[in-house]
Amino acid sequence: MREAFKGIGKIKFEGAKSSNPLAFKHYNPDELVEGKAMRDHLRFSVAYWHAFCGGGSDQFGSATRQKPWDDGSNSIENAQNRVRVAFEFMEKLGAEFYCFHDRDVAPEGDTLAESNKNLDAVVKTLKEEQKRTGIKLLWGTANLFSHPRYANGAATSPNADVFAYAAAQVAKAMEVTKELGGQGYTFWGGREGYKSLLNTDMKRELAHLGAFLNMAVEYKKEIKFKGQFYIEPKPKEPTKHQYDFDTGTVYGFLKANGLENDFKVNLEANHATLAGHTFQHELELAAALGILGSVDANRGDLLLGWDTDQFPTDLYDCTMAMYTLLNAGGFKTGGLNFDAKVARESIEPVDLFHAHIGGMDAFARGLKAAAKMRKDGCFAKFVKDRYASFDAGLGKKIDKGNTNFGELQTYILAKGNPAASPSARVEMLENILNEYI
């Protein structure tokens, strides 16, 4: 096959002093941080849909991106060729994982049987390229939101036949994910939500979603797929309200449906901010609940209220994300998947490199800063001291669940008013954080 990214070689680590825009300044894959190679901490993944399918169109204008390798057709040959281009890109970039939706990699046919056949043909090429390069599948997923049949949802569609179609599509997507050695499988509830409550039976839709995911767990066992299941929360867009609103909502839903041991969350930075949270908030809560799985690495725009999926470059965000991740023990099956797209104005193939290099360097800096914060331990010590009253005496009994309202009443009536808590030192801590960035 002809080289698609001509003139661009393997992206190398050249260090902070380099002025080469096509080199890493901070991401040095073999460098050890806390005794582990950066590549194994960060587990970078390329999102197939944005990187190789998206053309840069938006609601006001058509595609702008130059993709000289793409003949614009819906043929299997073009899809297979796109796979080879993708692996050339990932190999040159040094990304070790990728993620895809079924309909990104292979064209949708007129029937499900035809779509499955198309998928099988492209999976064959994906398998060959994985073997050739050693690049692995972080997770696979099914696109249950683009086709008009899913306009009213998939697992929460009011049409039982659409529910069945979605189940069959997910079953096939799980099978190919297994075939490709995928380490996970993601459920993003594309249109699982509503536009209007005037036409929606919410109780019934939530029950259907629970049933759908329970059947997916059953099928996973049936086909012996060992990957991790993820739910990707998002509060809105395309629907007004999406049922997988945020980590807290997803956890409640999993518990209510007996699924809390079968799923973790795949957290996306831009989805967190759409939900009115910081990215770190979502990571911290997921870690506290034991469901932190994987990350869709991107960022939103403070001035735009939708899912802009920009490449992550905010050093505070990347540092705080890595701080929470390291404190939680790091990724097991998950990774940092760049669910991000180049700007509509960034039209040349080389821009895909600039975008990913920037994201990888930003997270590498975040990782190093977070490791230093952990080594110095000043934030951890502050937090530990702040809760010291729970380490002994009555506080310890509260922590262990060994007391009751009666005892607490007697205790505090005898003791009198609590002493004022020491200063929370918000500004001092923020100033210290700045020293690490």
Per CB under 5 A, residues contacting Co ion are 268, 296, 339
47/53 Cα distance (integer angstroms): 10
Which member of 82, 103, 234, 264 binds ligand XUL (CB under 6 A)?
234
Q: Which of residues 103-162 bind ligand XUL (CB under 6 A)?
A: 141
The label of the residue with tokens 């949802």 reads 153
Of 268, 267, 368, residue with least CA distance to 311: 268
Which member of 69, 163, 165, 188 binds ligand XUL (CB under 6 A)?
188
Determine, following the binding rule CB under 6 A, whether residue 282 of this chain makes contact with ligand XUL: no
E-only strand ranges, 292-356: 292-296, 336-338
Cβ closest to Co ion, residue 104 vs residue 339: 339
* Shortest separation between residue 368's beta carbon and Co ion, angstroms: 26
Cβ closest to ligand XUL, residue 65 vs residue 234: 234
277 is catalytic: no
Cβ closest to ligand XUL, residue 192 vs residue 232: 232
Q: Choose, from 101, 208, 277, 281, the residue flagged as catalytic.
A: 101
* Shortest separation between residue 43's beta carbon and Co ion, angstroms: 16
* Shortest separation between residue 336's beta carbon and ligand XUL, angstroms: 13
Which member of 129, 192, 262, 268 binds ligand XUL (CB under 6 A)?
268
Determine, following the binding rule CB under 6 A, whether residue 192 of this chain makes contact with ligand XUL: no
The interface partner of residue 277, options being Co ion, ligand XUL, none and the CB cut-off 5 to 8 Å by kind, is none
What Å distances lie between residue 164 and 103, 150, 290, 340, CA to CA? 18, 12, 32, 31
Q: Choose, from 102, 104, 246, 339, the residue flagged as catalytic.
A: 104
Three-state DSSP class for residue 284:
helix
CB half-sphere exposure, 245, CA atoms < 13 A: 13
Dihedral sign (CA 327, 325, 249, 275): positive
The interface partner of residue 308, options being Co ion, ligand XUL, none and the CB cut-off 5 to 8 Å by kind, is none
CB half-sphere exposure, 412, CA atoms < 13 A: 9
Of 132, 126, 95, residue with least CA distance to 10: 95
301 is catalytic: no
For 417, which DSSP code?
S
Q: Token pair for residue 284?
A: 């911290």
Determine, following the binding rule CB under 6 A, whether residue 296 of this chain makes contact with ligand XUL: yes
The label of the residue with tokens 């939680």 reads 328
Residue positions annotated with a catalytic role:
101, 104
* Chain residues that interact with ligand XUL, rule: CB under 6 A: 101, 141, 186, 188, 232, 234, 268, 296, 307, 339
